[in-house]
Amino acid sequence: MNLKCLVETALSCFVLVAVCNEAFAQEVLPGTQTNGSERNSIITAVPFLLIMPDARAGSMGDAGVAVQPDANAMGINPSKLAFLDKKYGFSVSYSPWLKSLVPDVNLTYLAGFYKPDARTTIGSSLRYFNLGEIQLTDINQNDLGVYSPSELAFDVTYARQMGESFALGSSLRYIYSNLTSGQFAAGQQTHGGTAIAVDVSAYFKKPTVFLGKDAILSAGLNLSNIGTKVSYSDSGTKGFLPTNMKIGGASTFLIDDYSQFTFALDFNKLLVPTQPVYDANGKIIAGKDPDRSVPAGIFGSFTDAPGGFSEELKEVNIALGMEYWYNQQFALRAGYFYENPNKGNRRYATLGAGLKYNVFNIDIAYLLANAEKSPLANTLRFTLLFNFGNSQF
């Protein structure tokens, strides 16, 4: 059974692609990965881990590594949990995904936290990515039945406030990717891919006066998905996790007793090998061999692009976000995300709103993009948050 024919889509075009070296990548034809990027020279397994799960960050152009924390902080910067001012809380997020291409792919995200003391927060989250129904066929296009592939990531997080203005945090993550239905392919028995990963993060915030206004300046860093490689067969080539560096800053301006503005800017870079350029004989003529260990892949990701430093800069994507709160009850949000056309080509604006009442928050995000050019066009995200306990410990 040919690996390229292992999974045919009943979603219209979702496939599990395997090239001759048996490295796995998930795509929605004609070259769209499950996180919305087009095919490019950076290849990872389980790209669903790069999807921003919650509506607040999603409505701010996926920016938020340094904005004020909420229960969804584990999805973007675990260390921010240490600055939550409630005893415990949880959230539920849901998004129909790539709905302009397929009807039944969706992402669900559950998160919760608990503060045993004023400086310590523990949390947990579950990210579940449902890929809908897939029609399986063999190399001769014989019907092998319908299968529902899925992927999940389960996190446990610890965050600690180290002082009045600084916190560190880390998440331990279990990843399971069940894409192949255990089919026998290319002479091998396939199975679900598993991996273990960690996030390492930091967060800094300081009240001050900035541009003549009372403000809170903050900065954040999150190194996510540092972990083992993924394979879907016992002897197949293992793929890198989407190890990512997210760094950014935010400024929250306290205009008066009722109005509050936040402006955020994030930079992201995948810390995995860039694919080299090969000649007709398979010899590398530019770039570096991507067959490396995880540490070598992370450190080498800053210098391995075939086009040199200029290409490395193209691998950095940018997220801009703005949030306005009125009386800490109603929020309006907007943002923009930019990814170089040669490195995934995700470019879109976002809008959103939030409503807070007592212990309950609801957020909604809407992604604006050209439907003919972006598979993420018209994406909606919804989040419900609940926070309980006294604000002071």
Distance of CA 188 to the CA centre of its chain: 31
**Per residue of the chain (393 residues), what is the pLDDT tens digit?**
333 333 333 333 333 333 233 334 444 434 556 665 655 568 889 999 999 999 999 999 999 999 999 999 999 999 999 999 889 999 999 999 887 777 789 999 999 999 999 999 999 999 999 988 777 776 677 776 777 889 999 999 999 999 899 999 999 999 999 887 666 655 667 788 899 999 999 999 999 888 888 899 999 999 999 999 998 887 777 889 999 999 999 999 998 888 999 999 999 999 999 988 888 888 888 888 888 999 999 999 999 989 889 999 999 999 999 999 999 899 999 999 999 988 888 899 999 999 998 888 999 999 988 766 778 888 899 999 998 876 555
Neighbouring CB atoms inside 10 A of 335's CB total 26
For residues 69 and 310, give the distance between their C-alpha atoms in angstroms, rounded to a whole number.
34
CATH code at position 133: 2.40.160.40
Element (DSSP H or E) covering residue 146? strand 143-147
For residues 219 and 225, give the distance between their C-alpha atoms in angstroms, rounded to a whole number.
20
Let me know if residue 260 belongs to a domain. Answer: yes
Let me know if residue 393 belongs to a domain. Answer: no
Dihedral angle, C-alpha 119, 156, 243, 268, nearest 10 °: -40
Q: Which residues contact 360 (CB under 8 A, 6 or more apart)?
A: 384, 385, 386
For residue 281, what are its two tokens?
Answer: 């004989």
Let me know if residue 205 belongs to a domain. Answer: yes
Let me know if residue 237 belongs to a domain. Answer: yes
Range of the structural domain that residue 113 is part of: 3-388
Let me know if residue 235 belongs to a domain. Answer: yes
Residue 202 has a pLDDT of 97
For residues 333 and 323, give the distance between their C-alpha atoms in angstroms, rounded to a whole number.
4
Let me know if residue 363 belongs to a domain. Answer: yes
For residues 218 and 67, give the distance between their C-alpha atoms in angstroms, rounded to a whole number.
7
For residue 223, what are its two tokens?
Answer: 């190194």
Let me know if residue 31 belongs to a domain. Answer: yes
Residues in a beta bridge with 4: none
Q: Which residues contact 179 (CB under 8 A, 6 or more apart)?
A: 7, 16, 24, 26, 131, 149, 151, 192, 193, 232
The closest alpha carbon to 240, from 268, 267, 275, belongs to 275
Residue 338: exposed, middle, or buried by beta-carbon count in 10 A (0-12, 13-18, 19+)? middle
Positive or negative torsion for Cα 276, 224, 173, 347: negative
pTM of this structure:
0.85
Residue 29 has a pLDDT of 39
Q: Which DSSP string do the residues of 355-375 spell out, in sequence order?
A: EEETTEEEEEEEEE--TTT-T
Residue 212 has a pLDDT of 81
Neighbouring CB atoms inside 10 A of 391's CB total 9
Residue 222 has a pLDDT of 97
Please give the tally of structural domains in the chain. Answer: 1
